[in-house]
Amino acid sequence: MKIAIVGGAGKMGKWMARFLLAEKIEVILIGSNEERLSAARKELHVEGTTDLGAVSQADLIIISVPIATFESIVKELSRFVKKGQTVIDVTSVKTMPVEVMHRYLAGCLVLGTHPVFGPGAEGLTGHNVVLTPTSDSEKALAEQAKSFLEKRGANVKLMTPAEHDRLMAVVLGLAHYIAIVSGDTLLNLDNLADMKLASGVTFRVLMTLVASVLNEDPSLYASIQTNLPELPAIEAEFINKASQWAELVKQKDSPEFIRRMAELHNKLEQITSGDGKAYRDMYRIAEGR
């Protein structure tokens, strides 16, 4: 089997290339930036080209490009794909990309996928992958992919593109939003360096979250924030809740603060273990274990 990775010189494209090469699968990288492509070819010892027409040589095409350029690239790709070819995407949102693939690649078997991890992952073990089939033929392909991925340690879930995007509004959108706003707050304080020297575990974990987001490509995070339809309402609710808690602090209303925090603790216990695992996990993150 030969797999073409469109956007193969990017971080996630190279991650997938390494994974596929370890599976003894032939890979060709396709990218628009000759300098990055040349570096990726040398690093991975694989074929690479700026010619999008090279996808015609592949049995399967993986699209790993920014959300902002996704439609224009798929439109261009439609000139070169063969009828019956399999095409999957790995973007972080699903409704728009799946609709775009159906519109421009009508003769292909397409499948929306989302590896819910970044290029820093060492492998698939323990990581989540979401597949979003929309027809019987796509569901059959998704089941094959699910079996392949689960055998390699991944946790695989099938759902519709709309269901995926509703979940990602919280799983990615809100989490990233909290990290970015926290970073914007902390990095504009005059004494952050002193805080780091005097910090405890909770602060170090927060800074780890902030750094993990702010050190990545801003365009990726902007695309996620602006392409999840339900995210604005969730972020508005977060701001509303933050205002309520800030008012409790301002009014020094300890009894109500305690009551509400205890109520949240009880809700949390209904969905997670209360054996202190989260506290131990926090220390492991802070200590780099």
Report pLDDT digits (tens) over 177-205: 999 999 999 999 988 878 878 888 888 89
pLDDT at 35: 95
DSSP-derived secondary structure for 98-158: HHHHHHH-TTSEEEEEEE-S-TT-SSSTT-EEEEE--SHHHHHHHHHHHHHHHTTT-EEEE
pLDDT at 163: 97
Q: What is the pTM of this model?
A: 0.84
pLDDT over threshold 80, residue 242? yes
Cβ count within 10 A of residue 60: 19
pLDDT at 187: 92
At the top level of CATH, the class of 163-286 is mainly alpha
* % the chain with pLDDT above 90: 84
DSSP 8-class letter at 251: T
pLDDT band at 274 (very low <50, low <70, confident <90, very high): low
pLDDT at 195: 83
pLDDT at 167: 96
Domain boundaries, the chain: 2-159, 163-286
pLDDT band at 285 (very low <50, low <70, confident <90, very high): confident
DSSP 8-class letter at 94: -
List of residues 6+ apart from 38 with CB closer than 8 A: 48
**CB-facing half-sphere around the CA of 246: CA atoms within 13 A:** 6
Report pLDDT digits (tens) over 96-107: 999 999 999 999
pLDDT over threshold 90, residue 276? no
pLDDT over threshold 80, residue 288? no
What mean pLDDT is predicted for residues 118-129? 94
Q: Which of 143, 99, 146, 97 is closest to 124 using CA atoms?
A: 146
Report pLDDT digits (tens) over 12-65: 999 999 999 999 999 999 999 999 999 999 999 999 999 999 999 999 999 999
Select from 3.30.70.1070, 3.30.465.10, 3.40.50.1820, 3.40.50.720 the CATH code of 2-159.
3.40.50.720
DSSP 8-class letter at 189: S
